[in-house]
Amino acid sequence: MKSAPFEHHEPTTVDEAVSLLESLDDPTILAGGQSLVPMLRFRLANPDVVVDINGIDSLDYLREEDGHLRVGALARHADVAESDVIDEKYGSFADAAPLVADPQIRNRGTVVGSVAQADPKGDWGSVLLAHEGEVVARGPDGERAIPAEEFFLLPYDTTLGEDELITEVRVPTPSPNEGSAYHKLKRKTGDYAMAGVGVRLTFNDDGTIESAGIGMTAVDITNARATDAEEHLEGERPSPDLFAAAGELAAEQSNPESDEHGGADYKARMVDVLTQRALGDAAERAGTVTVKRRVTQ
Amino acid sequence: MTDEREITLTVNGTEHTVEVEPRRLLVHAIREDLDLTGTHIGCDTGNCGACTVLKDGEPIKSCLMFAAQADGAEILTVEGMEDLPEADGIHPLQEGFREEHGLQCGYCTPGMLMSGKALLDEDPDPDEETIRDAISGNLCRCTGYQNIVRSIEYAADELADRAAADGGAVTADGGASASPEGGHEPPAVGGDADTFCGREDCCGGPSEADPFDREALLDDAEGGNGDAAVDSTDTAVDADDRGDSV
Amino acid sequence: MSSEPDTPDAETEYQHDEDGGPDPEKHCGHGRGGMGEEVTRKEDKRFITGRGNYVDDIKKPGMLHCEIVRSPHAHARIENIDGSRAEAMDDVVAVLTADDLLEHDLATMPTLMDDTQDVLVNEKVKFQSQEVAAVIATDRYTAKDGAQKVEVEYDVLDPVVDAAEALEEDAPLVRDELDDQEDNHIFDWDTGDKEATEAVFDEADVTVEEDMLYQRLHPAPIETCGAVADWDPGMDKMTVHMTSQAPHAHRTLFSQVSGIPEHKVRIVSPDVGGGFGNKVPIYPGYVVAAAASYVLEQPVKWIEERSENIQTTGFARDYDMTGELAATEDGMIEGVKVDVLANHGAYNAAAQPSKFPAGFFNIFTGSYDIEAAYGSLTAAFTNTAPGGVAYRCSFRVTEAVYLIERMVKVLADELEMDPAEIRRKNFIPSDAFPYESATGWNYDSGDYEKALDKALEMADYEHYREEQQRRIAEDADKLIGIGISSFTEVVGAGPGKQCDIAGIEMFDSADLRVNPTGNAVLRVGVQTQGQGHETTFAQIVAEELGMDVDNISVEHGDTDTEPYGLGTYGSRSTPVAGAAAAVAARKVRDKAKSIAANELEAAEEDIEWDRESGEFHVAGAPDRSITITEIAAGAYMNHPGDEEPGLEAVNYYDPPEMTYPFGSYIVIVEVDRETGEVEFEKFVAVDDCGNRINPMIIEGQIHGGLAQGIGTAMLEKVTYDDNGNVTGGDFMNYLLPTANEIPNFETGHTVTPSPHHPIGAKGVGESPTVGSPPAIVNAVVDAMSHAGVSHVEMPMTPDVVWETLDDVGLSHQPAHNVEFDLGDDAEPADD
DSSP line for C600-660: HTS-GGGEEEETTTTEEEETTEEEEEEEHHHHHHHHHHS--TTS-SS-EEEEEE--SS-B-
Among C70, C225, C334, C393, which one carries the catalytic annotation?
C393
Tell me what the mean pLDDT of segment C441-466 comes to: 98
**What mean pLDDT comes out for the span C252-258?**
91
C755/C625 same-domain check: no
Domain end: B135, B165, B183, which one? B183
Of B1, B23, B46, the CB nearest to A105: B46
- In whole angstroms, give the CA distance from residue A209 to residue A215: 17
CA distance A144 to chain C (A): 33
* Mutation site for C-interface testing, chosen from B107, B133, B219, B222 by largest number of C Cβ within 10 Å: B107
- Is position C42 within any domain? yes
CATH number of domain containing C43: 3.30.365.10
pLDDT, greater one: A192 or B226: A192
Task: Tell whether A84 lies on the interface with C, counting CB pairs under 8 A.
Answer: no
Helix (H, G, I), strand (E, B) or coil at C336: strand
Is residue C774, in this structure, part of any structural domain at all?
A: yes
A180, amino acid identity: S
Q: How far is B160 from chain C (nearest CA, A)?
A: 21
A269 touching chain C per CB within 8 A: yes
On whether both B66 and B94 belong to a single domain, the answer is: no
pLDDT band at A286 (very low <50, low <70, confident <90, very high): very high
Q: Is residue C475 part of a domain?
A: yes
The verdict on C120 and C245 lying in the same domain is: yes
Dihedral pair phi/psi, residue A284, rounded to 5°: -65, -45
Closest Cα to residue C135, out of C180, C177, C85, C94? C94
CATH number, domain with residue B143: 1.10.150.120
Catalytic residue status for C392? yes
**Dist. CA C192–CA C715, nearest whole Å:** 34
User: Distance from first CA to last CA of chain B, Å, rounded?
Assistant: 39
At C532, the pLDDT band (50, 70, 90 cuts) reads very high
Which pLDDT score, from 0 to 100, does residue A94 have?
Answer: 98
Looking at residues C29-37, what average pLDDT do you find?
A: 83
Integer angstrom CA distances of residue A227 from A183, A213, A252, A280, C260:
18, 8, 11, 18, 72
Chain C contact present for A48, CB below 8 A: no
For residue C120, the enclosing domain spans 62-157+238-260+269-273+279-305
Across C374-396, average pLDDT: 95
Residue at a domain's end among C586, C621, C653:
C653
Query: Given B58, B64, B133, which is nearest A34 (Cβ)?
Result: B64
If asked whether residues C631 and C730 sit together in one domain, one would say no
* 3-state DSSP assignment of residue C672: strand
Boundary of a domain, candidates C597, C629, C653: C653
Q: How confident is the model at residue C517 (pLDDT cuts 50, 70, 90)?
A: very high
Query: What's the number of domains chain B is made of?
Result: 2
The CATH number given to whatever domain includes residue B54 is 3.10.20.30
Average pLDDT over residues C516-524: 97
CA distance B194 to B56: 44
Give the closest of C33, C704, C739 to B135, CB-based. C739
In a domain, B197, yes or no: no
For residues B38 and B98, membership in a common domain is answered with no
Q: Is A185 an 8 Å CB contact of chain C?
A: yes
Q: Residue C21 is nearest to which of B139, B149, B192, comparing CB atoms?
A: B192
Q: Which residues contact C465 (CB under 8 A, 6 or more apart)?
A: C482
Query: Are C624 and C722 in the same domain?
Result: no
B41 and B72 fall within a common domain? yes
Q: pLDDT tens digits for C325-376?
A: 999 999 999 999 999 999 999 999 988 898 999 999 999 999 999 999 999 9
Q: What is the mean pLDDT of residues C285-292?
A: 97
Q: Are residues C326 and C427 in the same domain?
A: yes
C708 belongs to the catalytic site: no
Asked if the structure places residue C397 within a domain, the reply is: yes
In a domain, B159, yes or no: yes
User: Is the residue at C228 inside a domain?
Assistant: no
Q: DSSP string spanning chain A? A: --PPP-EEE--SSHHHHHHHHHHSSS-EEESS-TTHHHHHHTTS---SEEEEGGG-GGG--EEEETTEEEEETT-BHHHHHH-HHHHHH-HHHHHHGGGSS-HHHHHH-BHHHHHHHT-TT-SHHHHHHHTT-EEEEEETTEEEEEEHHHHEEETTEES--TT-EEEEEEEEPPPTTEEEEEEEEESSTTPPEEEEEEEEEEE-TTSSEEEEEEEEESSSSS-EE-HHHHHHHTTPPP-HHHHHHHHHHHHHH-----BTTB-HHHHHHHHHHHHHHHHHHHHHHTTS-EEEESS--
A8 with B22: Cβ contact below 8 A? yes
Is-contact A270 A185, C-beta < 8 A?
yes
DSSP element (H, E) containing C102: helix C98-103
Q: Closest Cα of chain A to C461: distance in Å?
A: 19
Residues B55 and B122 in one domain: no
Does the active-site annotation cover C28?
Answer: no
Q: A–B: how many Cβ contacts below 8 A?
A: 87
Q: Is residue C1 part of a domain?
A: no
Distance CA C136, CA C296 (A): 9
Average pLDDT over residues C270-287: 96
B93 within domain boundaries: yes
**Domain co-membership, C783 together with C798:** yes
What tens digit of pLDDT does each residue of C227-250 get?
Answer: 999 999 999 999 999 999 999 999
Which residue in C609, C657, C680 sits closest to C762, CA to CA?
Answer: C657
CB of A173 less than 8 A from some CB of C: no
Buried b (16+ CB within 10 A) or exposed e, C299-323: bbbbbbbbbbbbbbbbbbbbbbbeb
B70 and B95 together in one domain: no
CB contact under 8 A, A260 and C474: no
Average pLDDT over residues C138-148: 96
Q: Cβ of B61 and A9 within 8 Å?
A: no
Mean pLDDT of C30-47: 93
Do B152 and B73 belong to one domain? no
Does residue B213 lie in a domain region? no
In-domain check, residue C209: no
pLDDT tens digit sequence for C661-690: 999 999 999 999 999 999 999 999 999 999
For testing contact with chain C, the best of A1, A2, A119, A206 (most C CBs within 10 A): A2
Q: Is B22 on the interface with C (CB under 8 A)?
A: no
| Residue A248 Rama label (left phi>0; alpha psi -120 to 50; beta) | alpha
Residues C124 and C247 placed together within one structural domain of the fold: yes
Nearest residue of chain A to residue B2 (CA atoms): A7
Number of H helices, E strands in chain C: 21, 34
Q: Distance (Å) from the C-alpha of residue C397 to the closest C-alpha of chain A?
A: 28
Say yes or no for a CB contact (<8 Å) between B137 and A50.
no
Q: Check whether residue C291 and residue C403 sit in a common domain.
A: no
pLDDT at residue C142 tops 80: yes
Where is the domain boundary, B128, B159, B183? B183
- Neighbouring chains of A at 3+ CB pairs under 8 Å are B, C
Scan residues 739-778 of C and list those with Cβ closer than 8 Å to A: 739-741
Which residues are within 8 A (CB) of C767 and not within 5 positions of it... i.e. 6 or more apart?
C487, C489, C571, C661, C662, C663, C687, C689, C702, C705
Among C562, C551, C557, smallest CA distance to C528 is for C557
Chain A nearest-CA residue for C813: A273
Q: Say if residue C460 is in the same domain as residue C339.
A: yes
pLDDT value of position B213: 37
Give the DSSP per-residue string, C478-521. Answer: EEEEEEEEEEE--BS---TTT-EETTEE--EEEEEEE-TTS-EE
Clarify whether C245 is annotated catalytic.
yes
A6 at B interface, C-beta within 8 A: yes
C513 and C614: one domain? yes
**Is there a domain that residue B220 lies in?**
no
Query: pLDDT tens, B102-119?
Result: 999 999 999 999 999 999
> Is the domain of B93 the same as that of B175?
yes
Domain check: are B74 and B93 in the same one?
Answer: no
Could you give the percent of chain C with pLDDT greater than 90?
89
- Residue B40 shares a structural domain with residue B69: yes
Going by C-alpha positions, the residue among A232, A249, A244, A253 that lies closest to residue A276 is A244
Average pLDDT score over chain C? 93
Of C306, C530, C738, the CB nearest to B104: C530
Using the Cβ of A293 and the Cβ atoms of chain C, whether some distance falls under 8 Å is answered with: yes
Q: Structural domain of residue B43, as residue ranges?
A: 5-80
Residue in C41, C392, C406, C624 annotated catalytic: C392
pLDDT digits (tens, 9 = 90+) for A254-282: 999 999 999 999 999 999 999 999 999 99
Contact B45 A38 (CB under 8 A): yes
The answer on B103 and B164 residing in a single domain is: yes
Section C651-665 average pLDDT: 96
Task: Return the axis-axis angle of helices C419-426 and C397-415, rounded to nearest 10°.
Answer: 120
Looking at the structure, tell me whether residues B20 and B50 fall in a common domain: yes
Contact (CB, 8 A) for B130 and B123:
yes
What CATH number is associated with residue C72?
3.90.1170.50
Based on the fold, state whether residues C149 and C66 are members of the same structural domain: yes
pLDDT in tens, A170-184: 999 999 999 999 999
Identify the pLDDT of residue A297. Answer: 65
Residue C174 resides in a domain:
no
> Phi and psi of A36, rounded to 5°?
-70, -40
Domain presence at residue B50:
yes
- Are residues C647 and C732 located together in one domain of the fold? no
pLDDT tens digits, one per residue of C799-825: 999 999 999 999 999 888 888 988 654
Question: What is the pLDDT averaged over residues C457-462?
Answer: 98
Q: How far is A204 from chain B (nearest CA, A)?
A: 38
Residue B233 lies in a domain: no
By three-state DSSP, how is residue C708 classified?
helix
The closest CB to that of B136, out of A8, A102, A107, belongs to A102
Whether residue B230 lies inside any domain: the answer is no
- Both B93 and B18 in a single domain? no
Interface of B with C in 138-167 (CB under 8 A): 138-149
Q: How many domains does chain C divide into?
A: 3
Q: Which residues lie below 8 Å from residue C765, measured CB to CB, with a gap of 6+?
A: C392, C531, C571, C573, C701, C705
Q: Do A177 and C798 touch (CB under 8 A)?
A: no
Annotated catalytic residue: which of C130, C245, C529, C708?
C245
